[in-house]
Amino acid sequence: MLSLKIGMDEPQDPRRCDLGRVETSAQSDKQTKLSCERIAAPWGPTTPGLDTEWLFRKEFEVKPLAGGRLSITAQGVYEAEINGKRVGDHFMAPGWTAYDKRIPYQTYDITSLLCVGKNCIGVRVAEGWFCGRIGFEGGHRNIWGPHPALMCELQIHYPDTSIETTPTDSTWMVARGPIQRAELYNGEKYDATQEIPYWSTVAPLRSLDISHYWVPVLCMPPLSKQIQVIAGIGVPVRRIETIKPVQHILSPSGKEIIDFGQNMVGYVRLKNIKGLRGHKIILSHAEVLENQEICTRPLRQCDSIDEYTLKGDENGESYEPRFTFHGFRFAQVEGWCSDFTLMDSVEAVVCHTDMKEVGSFSCSSGSLNQLYHNVLWGMKGNFLAVPTDCPQRDERLGWSGDLALFAPTAVLIFDCYEFLKNWLVDVWYDQQVLDGVPAMVTPNATLPDPIWCRRKPCAVWHDVTILAPWALYEETGNIEILEQQYESMEIWIRKIPRRKDGSTHLWDTTIFQLGDWLDPDAPPDAPWKGKTDAQLVANAFLIRSLGLMVKIAGLLHKDQDELRFQHDLQMTEKEFQDEYVTPNGRLVSDSQAAYAIAICFGLLTPAQQERAGLHLVYLEQGLLVHLSYVKHLS
């Protein structure tokens, strides 16, 4: 069995990238250093915008062997093949991290794919999150780099304990692949007429003019010393399940729409395709219908369209995207040309981080059961590589505020400890880059500068540094996560700007706060202007975070910190009472959110708590009467 150790030695060749170390249990005293060059297509640096996928290949000889391993990663996303067979089952590998700090690599057992004699490895590489368009309000390209790159190394283990390596270097070849576009927002465009037959195999290529497709790779300069190439941690994204369509709809405009009956994240798989060479099939994705047509308005600057160009195979063709995913329930299919019906030829492939489901819920209320079902599928759709806020439109970012609130629920549904632990490493890195203030999104994709994205401290969103690790600890009892994130938590508390006079333990009122974000009564163009005082919300979460820091410092035996946080907590609680609560338990904001937060966070005395609870019931009943009246009018 092979176990990985991280190798931090500087490689001798300045173009080489150290991936780590491999050792076997029988060779514990003899480690083999993995090193490889970072390679790209020679046209990459001069391609200003969107490019095709790149196909890399390398032939190599194998003697009678004991085993083989492939360690591989990319700046971008990759999919590897050996002798024409897929390596592993990861989707969108190596995943999404803060690429300016760390790039994970995966190691696969490839023994069963190798044969004695000539072999061939082929690797597809596309932009992914690394240099594809990503970010809020349409996003940006090339955030972490100008183009993709590949890094990998094959290790062949022989019975005499010797190891032969085949790293990425100048002997590899590269060509353009049939995927003409592989974008997260705009989807994938696959032209089967551009396929290179047997591109990842050996024998048939001998009869082809290799130079027609293939050129030598470009060896890239070394990575910055601050970027670590590390053994993959967390949990990979996989194709988890398939869903059959439930309805074939012919829209008023004559479009064919397939309803899968469930909002999900993934893509549509096509089979039974038959048609003329060059014919195109176009798949458009949407979560909802509007006037019985697919509704793409919520997608904003996100086309969410996959396109397949047929090669004209008389035996039939099939297609599924490799390097994109969509949030959808409905798929509009244009150009279907097969003798087979659409209902028999399409299925949806659900993709998300491969977490074990550990919780379930059911009761006698159908509405509550449906609510839980929605929460479950919402988590599946948003836990793909990182915890995002939405899977469908031109955003799909790791917003800190969403996870800050959802983490306690997430840990009850799926075992997401390793997944969130991995993400929190990047939260801490981005926080350090921003001088101790956490990023609004992690990994920190460059954003335009609307008011809610400015690089200033923000309550709730930035409290994720404390709330998420605590949720993981509370569910698992594993204190390691608190130790890992303690510096991130402690620095965030110190960075919170307090008032300069008066209630000096409360938040500085000059700092913009998001408050009760997306209150239904808030103006659509100003979702932070809800009924609840945003400063009340900020200070309630400050008290919540301080209370947790008292517990965390105690668990970690940081006695001085515990006393400091305890004093800060007591003073902040007193000032909160003076500022926002009457002696009888009324709050300055007469809203359900204000009372629910005050009650749940224990911000009131027992007498105030009782009165506040009664008033919350009153507010809820008033809302129900209002909703009933609105329903009656409609």
567-619 tens-digit pLDDT? 999 999 999 999 999 998 999 999 999 999 999 999 999 999 999 999 999 99
308-359 tens-digit pLDDT? 999 999 999 999 999 999 999 999 999 999 889 999 999 999 999 999 999 9
Closest CA to 552 of 475, 479, 452: 479
Distance CA 530, CA 538 (A): 13
Check residue 437 and report its DSSP letter.
P
Predicted confidence band of residue 453 (pLDDT cuts 50, 70, 90):
low
Weakest mean pLDDT among 41-55, 111-125, 511-525: 511-525
Distance CA 451, CA 458 (A): 11
Residue 305 to residues 128, 170, 376, 548: CA-CA distances in angstroms? Answer: 16, 36, 26, 45
Task: Judge contact between 2 and 22, C-beta under 8 A.
Answer: yes
**Number of helices and strands in the chain (H, E):** 10, 32
Distance CA 192, CA 317 (A): 9
Phi, psi angle pair for 35, to nearest 5°: -145, 150
Give residue 209's pLDDT.
56
216-235 tens-digit pLDDT? 999 999 899 999 999 887 78
Q: Buried b / exposed e across 367-398, counting CB within 10 Å, b at 16+?
A: eeeeeeeebbbbbbbbbbbbbbbbbbbbbbbb
Side-chain-side CA neighbours of 281 within 13 Å: the count stands at 31
Task: Judge contact between 393 and 136, C-beta under 8 A.
Answer: no
Q: How far is CA 312 from the centre of its chain?
A: 36
Name residues whose C-beta falls within 8 Å of residue 543's C-beta, 6 or more positions apart in sequence: 569, 572, 573, 576, 601, 603
498-634 belongs to which CATH class? mainly alpha
Predicted confidence band of residue 448 (pLDDT cuts 50, 70, 90):
low
Please list the residue range(s) of the chain that carry CATH number 2.60.120.260. Answer: 2-175+195-234, 239-353
Task: Judge contact between 156 and 68, C-beta under 8 A.
Answer: yes
Q: Which residue has the tokens 């009165």?
A: 611
Cis peptide before 298 (omega within 30 of 0): no
Predicted confidence band of residue 34 (pLDDT cuts 50, 70, 90):
low
Q: In this structure, how many other beta carbons lie within 10 angstroms of the beta carbon of residue 634?
A: 5
Task: Judge contact between 193 and 309, C-beta under 8 A.
Answer: yes
Task: Judge contact between 243 and 260, C-beta under 8 A.
Answer: yes
Q: Which residue has the tokens 């930035």?
A: 462
pLDDT tops 90 at residue 466: yes
C-beta pairs of 443-447 under 8 Å, 24+ apart in sequence: 443/96, 443/97, 443/98, 443/99, 443/129, 443/386, 443/398, 444/98, 445/129, 445/134, 445/135, 445/136, 445/139, 445/140, 445/143, 445/397, 446/135, 446/140, 446/143, 447/135, 447/136, 447/137
Q: In this structure, how many other beta carbons lie within 10 angstroms of the beta carbon of residue 511?
A: 16
Distance CA 333, CA 498 (A): 56
pLDDT tops 50 at residue 159: yes
pLDDT tops 80 at residue 208: no
57-113 tens-digit pLDDT? 999 999 998 999 999 999 999 999 999 999 999 999 999 999 999 999 999 999 999
* Structure tokens, 182: 């592989």
Architecture of domain 357-495: Alpha/alpha barrel (1.50)
230-276 tens-digit pLDDT? 988 778 999 999 999 999 999 999 999 999 999 999 999 999 999 99
Beta bridge partners of 302: none
Give residue 233's pLDDT.
76
Distance CA 357, CA 339 (A): 40
Burial class (CB in 10 A: 0-12, 13-18, 19+), 225: exposed
Task: Judge contact between 438 and 492, C-beta under 8 A.
Answer: yes
Residue 303 to residues 276, 324, 428, 439, 631: CA-CA distances in angstroms? Answer: 26, 12, 33, 27, 35
Give residue 6's pLDDT.
27
Distance CA 586, CA 347 (A): 54
Give residue 213's pLDDT.
84
Give residue 161's pLDDT.
93
Instruction: Give, for 609, the enclosing helix (H) or strand (E).
Output: helix 606-633
Please list the residue range(s) of the chain that carry CATH number 1.50.10.10. Answer: 357-495, 498-634
pLDDT tops 70 at residue 481: yes
* Structure tokens, 138: 């349409």
Predicted confidence band of residue 207 (pLDDT cuts 50, 70, 90):
low
Phi-psi group of 73: left, alpha or beta (phi > 0 → left; psi -120 to 50 → alpha; rest → beta)? beta
Phi, psi angle pair for 408, to nearest 5°: -60, -30
pLDDT tops 50 at residue 1: no
2-175+195-234 belongs to which CATH class? mainly beta
Distance CA 266, CA 382 (A): 11
Distance CA 309, CA 307 (A): 7
Predicted confidence band of residue 21 (pLDDT cuts 50, 70, 90):
very low
Residue ranges of alpha helices (H) inside 477-524 are 480-495
Task: Judge contact between 413 and 379, C-beta under 8 A.
Answer: yes
Name residues whose C-beta falls within 8 Å of residue 581's C-beta, 6 or more positions apart in sequence: 587, 588, 598, 603, 604, 608
CA angle 100, 434, 7 (to 5 degrees): 35
pLDDT tops 50 at residue 392: yes
Give residue 407's pLDDT.
98
Predicted confidence band of residue 163 (pLDDT cuts 50, 70, 90):
very high
Distance CA 399, CA 153 (A): 35
Give residue 81's pLDDT.
98
DSSP string, 376-401: HHHHHHHEESEE-S-SSSS----BHH
- Is residue 144 classed as helix, strand or coil in its secondary structure? coil
pLDDT tops 80 at residue 24: no
- What percent of the residues of the chain are helix, what percent strand, and what percent coil, each to the nearest 5? 30, 30, 40
The listed CATH number (2.60.120.260, 3.80.10.10, 3.40.50.1980, 3.40.50.300) that belongs to domain 239-353? 2.60.120.260
Closest CA to 595 of 536, 552, 550, 545: 536
Q: How far is CA 115 from the centre of its chain?
A: 36
Predicted confidence band of residue 622 (pLDDT cuts 50, 70, 90):
confident
pLDDT tops 90 at residue 454: no
Q: In this structure, how many other beta carbons lie within 10 angstroms of the beta carbon of residue 631?
A: 8
- Is residue 162 classed as helix, strand or coil in its secondary structure? coil
Distance CA 517, CA 536 (A): 13
Phi, psi angle pair for 587, to nearest 5°: -105, 155
Q: How far is CA 238 from the centre of its chain?
A: 12
Closest CA to 121 of 193, 159, 169, 162: 169
* Structure tokens, 289: 């219908």
396-446 tens-digit pLDDT? 899 999 999 999 999 999 999 999 999 999 999 999 999 999 999 999 986
